[in-house]
């Protein structure tokens, strides 16, 4: 089991909404190290810390990935989604008990 924390950075200049639209939140969807897509979470800035989502994933050899999408109150995409990928080794590689040698006895 792994804990994946995504903290979204908000621009200093706010985006402009279309006439009649209201901001619905920021949807965060994560693909964990096993490659499984986890249920998304919608952030609204009241999280502790703000704009942060925490997911529980499964270990694996892949790099975790998050897609961040601002949405309006009806779920329509605002702007362009952002895709980020974990940097580093890409999670926990799968392992096996590797042979290192042997002995044989004949009686």
Of 65, 66, 72, 70, residue with least CA distance to 81: 70
- Within a domain: 91: no
- Within a domain: 26: yes
- Within a domain: 61: yes
Predicted confidence (pLDDT) per residue in 19-56, tens digit: 888 999 999 999 999 999 999 999 999 999 999 999 99
- Number of folded domains that form the chain: 1
Q: Are strands 52-57 and 65-72 parallel, antiparallel or unpaired?
A: unpaired
- Within a domain: 53: yes
Query: Domain containing 43: what range?
Result: 2-7+22-85
- Within a domain: 13: no
pTM, full prediction? 0.81
Residue 69 binned pLDDT confidence (cut-offs 50, 70, 90): very high
């Amino acid at each position: 089991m792994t804990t994946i924390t995504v903290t979204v950075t908000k621009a200093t200049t706010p985006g402009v909404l279309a006439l009649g639209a209201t901001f619905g939140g920021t949807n965060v969807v994560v693909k964990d190290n096993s490659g499984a897509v986890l249920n998304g979470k919608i952030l609204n800035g009241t999280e502790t810390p703000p704009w942060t989502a925490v997911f529980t994933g499964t270990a694996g050899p892949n790099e975790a990935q998050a897609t961040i999408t601002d949405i309006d109150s009806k779920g329509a995409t605002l702007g362009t989604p952002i895709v980020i990928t974990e940097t580093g080794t890409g999670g926990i590689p799968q392992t096996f008990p590797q042979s290192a040698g042997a002995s044989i006895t004949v009686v």
